[in-house]
């Protein structure tokens, strides 16, 4: 058995055995297989896919590459949440403390940015002093003490996925249902939650471009969850437009804080309450409507915000010290209704400014990004503000920004945010 034979086999659309997949994954983890061969293997999977058994085998191998967190010492049912990634998706920053404010335990292991989509860990690191790495003992202790913890994917938990994830980000191999499903589910299973709610993004700013692919990914993850006796529910949500207004690590953190103070955008609020009602209803064995109303109360009465402050303090952060650069205002050249804000192009601009990574070794600039001043459906007058660009020397043209927006004299039909719930 050797890597070239295995790459060729998958290139020729043949099924791989678990031993062959393990040879590639473990060989890459131990540095016996170089980046260029693993990249070729990943690209063969992107082009030719994997069947259900291959995907479960890949998930198994990545779980077995590291430790599994035993959350049996956490009192109560633990519910986790994951997003497949989108432009302006700061949902976890709001959702985790809000759900914890109802008494539900939230043990959250999050990732960094992938492609043009941001990562929860990168956003939390925009807070001065915030510690994203911890031991599993400290992780469990924190969940028991304050009800919520958000940690980065450590070197001890699915280290094979962590290394492959970074390679996929810079080799054009992010858009593959088996790779996405096994990456997400290996982390979720290894992190020990009893149930998992997954936000599957759909649209030009997401990894899944079509509703059909999103459904396929959702069903794949539900099948993997069933293999491990885990409850998995998926919510398919629109990512043709950015979520909220802010796109960039520091400014998304600030928008999340404002959301928990009751001042956030309506689309982010709708998504948080939809995902949260599933999480709370599972954990408390109540109806989704009862869970929804409790979350809505805690969003309005400040309990969610107080829990966020508790989380940040526990993880050594200073909520009053969030890195944000200076901004310039971009004005509209004409009047009309905003009928489209291209999520992918917005994400590309934020990445070029320094909010994302071009290579595995790149460092994030936490202070850069863009903040929209309008949403789809808004009417704007000539010379009205469209967007603010937070930057530190990024090379972005005005026309590049204006190309993100489509104007019309008719408002058109607005797309729903919540497209489908698969339980």
Which of 57, 80, 122, 161 does the annotation list as catalytic?
161
pLDDT, mean of residues 392-397: 74
Alpha-carbon span 41 to 11, nearest angstrom: 8
Pick the CATH number of 3-49 from 3.40.50.300, 1.20.970.10, 3.40.640.10, 3.30.70.2660: 1.20.970.10
Largest CA distance in the chain: 66
Domain 327-408 = CATH 3.90.1170.30: yes
pLDDT score at 417 = 97
Which of 82, 123, 136, 357 does the annotation list as catalytic?
82
pLDDT score at 155 = 65
User: Which tens digits make up the pLDDT trace of 71-93?
Assistant: 888 888 888 999 988 899 999 99
pLDDT score at 107 = 87
Active site annotation includes 201:
no
Active site annotation includes 183:
yes
User: Which tens digits make up the pLDDT trace of 401-421?
Assistant: 999 999 999 988 889 999 999
pLDDT band at 364 (very low <50, low <70, confident <90, very high): confident
pLDDT score at 44 = 98
Active site annotation includes 128:
no
pLDDT score at 69 = 87
Which of 108, 168, 201, 230 does the annotation list as catalytic?
168
pLDDT, mean of residues 347-368: 83
Active site annotation includes 187:
yes
User: Which tens digits make up the pLDDT trace of 164-188?
Assistant: 988 997 898 988 999 999 999 998 9
Active site annotation includes 219:
no
Which of 3, 101, 183, 191 does the annotation list as catalytic?
183
- First and final CA of the chain: distance in angstroms? 41
Number of H helices, E strands in the chain: 16, 13
Which of 136, 162, 187, 357 does the annotation list as catalytic?
187
pLDDT score at 119 = 85
User: Which tens digits make up the pLDDT trace of 108-155?
Assistant: 888 776 656 668 899 999 999 999 988 888 988 999 999 999 988 676
Pick the CATH number of 71-314 from 3.40.50.2300, 3.40.50.300, 3.40.1030.10, 3.90.1150.10: 3.40.1030.10
Q: Judge whether 3-49 and 327-408 match in fold.
A: no
pLDDT score at 152 = 86
**Percent of all residues in the chain with a pLDDT value above 70, rounded to a whole number:** 96
User: Which tens digits make up the pLDDT trace of 3-49?
Assistant: 999 999 999 999 999 999 999 999 999 999 999 999 999 999 999 99
Average pLDDT score, the chain: 92
Domain range annotation of the chain: 3-49, 71-314, 327-408
| In the block, residue with structure tokens 């709708």 | 270
Judged against a pLDDT cut of 80, whether residue 360 lies above it is answered with no
Q: Decide if 136 contacts 72 (C-beta within 8 A).
A: no
Alpha-carbon span 373 to 327, nearest angstrom: 13
Identify the CA nearest to 346 among candidates 392, 393, 388, 297: 388
pLDDT score at 394 = 62
């Amino acid at each position: 058995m050797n890597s070239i034979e295995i790459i060729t086999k998958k290139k020729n659309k043949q099924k791989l055995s678990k031993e062959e997949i393990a040879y590639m994954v473990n060989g890459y983890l131990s540095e016996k297989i170089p980046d260029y061969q693993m990249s070729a293997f990943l690209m063969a999977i992107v082009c030719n896919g994997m069947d259900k058994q291959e995907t479960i085998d890949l998930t198994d191998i990545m779980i077995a590459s590291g430790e599994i967190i035993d959350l049996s010492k956490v009192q109560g049912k633990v519910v986790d949440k994951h997003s497949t990634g989108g432009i302006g998706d700061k949902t976890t920053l709001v959702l985790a403390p809000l759900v914890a404010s109802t008494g539900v335990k939230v043990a959250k292991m999050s990732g960094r940015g992938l492609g043009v989509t941001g990562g929860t860990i990168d956003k939390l690191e925009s807070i001065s002093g915030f510690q994203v790495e911890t031991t599993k003992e400290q992780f469990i202790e924190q969940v028991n003490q304050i009800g919520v913890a958000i940690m980065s994917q450590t070197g001890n938990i699915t280290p094979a996925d962590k290394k492959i994830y970074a390679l996929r980000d810079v080799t054009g191999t992010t858009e593959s249902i088996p790779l996405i499903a096994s990456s997400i589910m290996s982390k979720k299973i290894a992190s020990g939650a009893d149930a998992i709610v997954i936000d599957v993004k759909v649209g030009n700013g997401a990894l899944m471009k079509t509703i059909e692919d999103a459904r396929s990914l959702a069903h794949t993850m539900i099948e993997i969850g069933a293999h491990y006796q885990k409850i998995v529910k998926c919510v398919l949500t629109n990512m043709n437009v950015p979520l909220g207004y802010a796109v960039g690590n520091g400014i998304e953190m600030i928008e999340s804080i404002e959301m928990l103070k009751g001042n956030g955008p309506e689309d982010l609020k709708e998504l948080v309450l939809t995902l949260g009602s599933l999480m709370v209803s599972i954990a408390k064995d109540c109806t989704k409507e009862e869970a929804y109303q409790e979350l809505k109360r805690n969003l309005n009465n400040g309990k969610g915000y107080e829990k966020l402050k508790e989380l940040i303090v526990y993880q050594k952060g200073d909520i009053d010290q969030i890195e944000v650069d200076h901004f310039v205002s971009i004005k509209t050249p004409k009047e009309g209704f905003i009928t489209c804000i291209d999520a992918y192009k917005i994400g590309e601009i934020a990445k070029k400014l320094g909010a994302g990574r071009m290579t595995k070794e790149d460092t994030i600039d936490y202070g850069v990004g863009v903040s929209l001043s309008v949403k789809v459906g808004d009417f704007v007058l000539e010379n009205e503000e469209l967007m603010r660009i937070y930057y530190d020397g990024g090379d972005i043209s005005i026309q590049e920004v204006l190309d993100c927006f489509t104007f019309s004299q008719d408002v058109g039909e607005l797309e729903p945010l919540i497209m489908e719930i698969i339980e």
